Amino acid sequence: MSRQPDPFRAGIARGWKVLGAGLAPVPDELSCDVLVIGSGAGGGISAELLARAGLDVIVLEDGPLKTSTDFRQLEAEAYPTLYQECAARKTADKAITILQGRCVGGSTTVNWTSSFRTPELTLAFWRQHHGLADFGPEALAPFFAEAERRLHIGAWETPPNENNDLLRRGALKLGIEALAIHRNVRGCWNLGSCGLGCPTNAKQSMLVTTIPGALDHGARLLAQTRAERFEIAAGQVAALHAVAWGEDGERPLRIRARHYVLAAGAINSPAVLLRSGAPDPHGLLGRRTFLHPVVLSAALCEQRVECWAGAPQTIYSDHFLHTQP
């Protein structure tokens, strides 16, 4: 297997417009057709589609630009640079730690590549409670398929490591279905350090797919630039106030756009709206966050179980999702 090239090295050399992060200074005032706030799963795909359509797009990312050149499979380097609050972001009661990306590519740069289509039960809930009548599995199937092609999502044919295979074998003994997880990888080396940034660029995150695609079509990327608040006038967003940060401190800037895409994640997006004093007629802003708790299971085993060796998350069972209230 060969290491995939770092797209940012070649892209910046041929003129990609990447500002901040010590590369090029961020101006005090900017304007564009569409400002995309966040470079993760939602922001990355939106930026590429809009840039391909010929619009002038700016992508704003609070975190730094780190690429495979910087990924050395070291927790002491990855957690402080690639995660929100050094991978220590917590709920107010400190009960749950929230592992959320803060870098170009967002959480797609540090996630474990598990890729699922939106479940039919969820789509049915959206249709019933939110009036999204067109959001059925058949109607969305072509869009899911397009995303799967773009991000190289497919079956993972490599045998699971012992950590995952224990889940598979245990479920089999209990008569519970356990299936292989589809992953967004291409030429994966099975190193097991997905959460520390992929050093071979096998993980098809926004860092190596849609953000480079947007930049190839003229988009501008502002790294280490934090969205603070929208300037709202007469019920319309007039501009975004942001802060570019680096070793030399922080500097404010103002960005005007015809349209805004707020894709800063389930925690940071409502935070921006709250700081902006955005309209909240139903009183739900910042009050409807859902977390996916992960509980550690530990056991003494006769054999070696090295959960850091091999892809970290390749087997799943959703048996109890359908059999319990």
Q: Token pair of 14, please?
A: 């041929």
How many Å apart are CA 96 and CA 87, to the nearest integer? 12
Q: How far apart are the first and last CA of the chain?
A: 45
Amino acid (1-letter code) at residue 57: V
Torsion of Cα atoms, 307 then 310 then 311 then 312, to 10°: 10
- The answer to whether 67 and 230 are in contact (CB under 8 A) is no
Q: Give the pLDDT confidence score for residue 1 in this predicted structure.
A: 67
The H-or-E segment that residue 271 falls in is helix 265-276
Q: pLDDT tens digits for the chain (325 residues)?
A: 678 889 999 999 999 999 998 899 999 999 999 999 999 999 999 999 999 999 999 999 999 999 999 999 999 999 999 999 999 999 999 999 999 999 999 999 999 999 999 999 999 999 999 999 999 999 999 999 999 999 999 999 999 999 999 999 999 999 999 999 999 999 999 999 999 999 999 999 999 999 999 999 999 999 999 999 999 999 899 999 999 999 889 999 999 999 999 999 999 999 999 999 999 999 999 988 888 888 888 899 999 999 899 999 999 999 988 787 7
Chain centre distance of CA 36: 14
Give which of 15, 39, 113, 150 is closest to 310, Cα–Cα. Answer: 113
How many Å apart are CA 118 and CA 140, to the nearest integer? 9
How many Å apart are CA 259 and CA 57, to the nearest integer? 10
Degrees (nearest 5) of the Cα angle 207, 141, 270?
Answer: 50
Residue by residue, DSSP assigns 52-77 as HTT--EEEE-SS----TTT--S-HHH
User: How many other C-beta atoms lie within 10 A of the C-beta of residue 45?
Assistant: 23
Q: Give the pLDDT confidence score for residue 323 in this predicted structure.
A: 81
